Structure 1
Amino acid sequence: MTDTITFDDFTKVDLRVGTIIEVLDFPKARNPSYQLTIDFGALGIKKSSAQITSLYKKEDLLHRQIVAVVNFPKKQIANFMSECLVVGAVNKKDVMLLKPEEPVKNGSSVN
């Protein structure tokens, strides 16, 4: 477990649901990754780099809803600017993406 945070700390994390609308290989990444383009509805389109190639094929990710942190600062990864952080559960060394059980509106908040 990591350091304990307050509820106020938690409320600062903006978790939203979005739909992946484009998946590209990311050969310049240090570890095998994809470049994802994600539609967050009224929040707009954001890009993210994700090390999820071991469990997911590009075609399986397209049109899939995911959960991401949308209020982190942008981060340069190789020649790519990541604008959000897709979240998942780690099983051994693989990341399994978190998603809603049923489709929801893009941009919906996660509470």
Structure 2
Amino acid sequence: MNDTITFEDFSKVDLRVGTIIEVNDFPEARNPAYQLTIDFGDFGIRKTSAQITTLYKKEDLLERQIVAVLNFPRKQIAKFMSECLVLGAVNGKDVMLLNPEQPVKNGSAVN
């Protein structure tokens, strides 16, 4: 287990629900990954990459809702700029995306 954080620390993390609207291969990535374009409603459209190719096909990701951190700094990955961090549960090399059980409005907060 990692160090304990305070509620104030946790409240700084901006977790939001978004819908994947575009998925592309990312052959320049060191590990197999997709480039995702995600609609976060009032918070805009963001791009990121995700190493989720072992469990998900591109066509299965379209219109899927996910949970992401929106207030991370942008990060250069190869020639691609990541603008958020998609959350997933890691099991070995597999990453299973976190998502709401039922559809919610894009941009909804996760508390």
TM-score, with length taken from structure 2: 0.99
TM-aligned CA deviation for residue 3 of structure 1? 1.3
Partner AA of 1:37 in structure 2: T
Cα distance, 1:92 vs structure 2: 2.3
Map 1:1-111 → 2, pairs under 5 A: 1-111=1-111
1:2 Cα shift? 1.0
CA deviation after TM superposition for structure 1 residue 93, in Å: 2.1
Consecutive aligned runs of 4 or more in structure 1 exceeding 4 Å deviation: none
Distance 1:40 1:47 in 2: 11
What is the deviation of 1:67? 0.2
Q: Deviations over 1:36-65 (max 9, x none)?
A: 000000000000110000000000000000
Structure 2 stretches lacking a partner, 5+ long = none
Q: How far apart in 2 are the matches of 1:63 and 1:6?
A: 35
Equivalent pairs counted in the alignment come to 111
* TM-score with structure 1 setting the length: 0.99
The whole-number CA distance in structure 1 between the counterparts of 2:90 and 2:22 is: 23
- Unaligned stretches of 5+ in structure 1? none
Report the aligned-residue RMSD. Answer: 0.5
1:5-44 deviations in whole A, cap 9, x for unaligned?
A: 1110000000000000000000000000000000000000
